[in-house]
A and B are shown apart, each in its own frame.
Chain A
Amino acid sequence: AQSVTQLGSHVSVSEGALVLLRCNYSSSVPPYLFWYVQYPNQGLQLLLKYTSAATLVKGINGFEAEFKKSETSFHLTKPSAHMSDAAEYFCAVTHSNSGYALNFGKGTSLLVTP
């Protein structure tokens, strides 16, 4: 079965600083990988996805992620944090063997300080 591990349940950055949220996956077959964001009291929203095309994936709001097979990683980055980026971020994985059911990580809470 496939799974993801998000390193760090809480990450704090200063406004304007680099955002780096870590995600490692475990999958016996080539995975599809996703990042979702959840703002307070809202549903999850897709940020970006990797589906075996380009390894560097760009998403909404200036976020991007790079699929690194050798490191089994799919870390999320943004060059300059905004206050509005404060939210919960979830990494997720799926593949055809599971009927494409998404398995989510436990999430990383991003705090942006002035």
Chain B
Amino acid sequence: EAGVVQSPRYKIIEKKQPVAFWCNPISGHNTLYWYLQNLGQGPELLIRYENEEAVDDSQLPKDRFSAERLKGVDSTLKIQPAELGDSAVYLCASSPNRVGELFFGEGSRLTVL
């Protein structure tokens, strides 16, 4: 069974530039999450999808962050414009709807210069 796939693994951009991250969840997993992980910290939830519906986006900074999950499968997280403080690892996870059982991708590490 293929795991959660994320791309790109690494991205370096200048501040004020846009950036996008892509996630392909495990087949059949209806729930998809985007988490932010700062260095030395635990993951923090940005947004959770049930199929194509964003059911929890309360922690997503909507002035510069956006996300979509078209057709309830792949998802894209976008930052525009990026700021220095956005440098972090962006983790995607999917779940087969068993409580707390998340399957994580390897993450996309963003460096904003």
Interface residues on A, range: 20 to 34
Residue of B41, B43, B44, B106 ringed by the most chain A CB atoms within 10 A? B43
Q: Tell yes or no: B48 within 8 A of A by CB.
A: yes
Interface residues of A (CB under 8 A from B): 9, 32, 34, 36, 41-46, 49, 51, 90, 92, 94, 99-102, 104-107
Contact indicator A43/B91 (Cβ below 8 Å): yes
Contact indicator B42/A99 (Cβ below 8 Å): no
Q: Tell yes or no: B84 within 8 A of A by CB.
A: no
Chain B binding site: helix, strand, loop or mixed by DSSP?
loop
Interface residues of B (CB under 8 A from A): 3-4, 40-45, 48, 55-56, 91, 93, 99-107
Instruction: Kindly report which residue of chain A lies nearest to residue B104, judged by CB atoms.
Output: A43
- With A43-B104, A102-B100 known as contacts, the answer to whether A107 contacts B41 (CB < 8 A) is yes
In the docked arrangement, what's the CA distance between A46 and B102, Å? 7
Can you sample 16 A-B contacts with CB below 8 Å? A36-B102, A43-B3, A43-B91, A43-B106, A44-B102, A45-B104, A46-B103, A51-B99, A94-B99, A100-B99, A100-B100, A101-B45, A101-B56, A104-B43, A105-B42, A106-B42
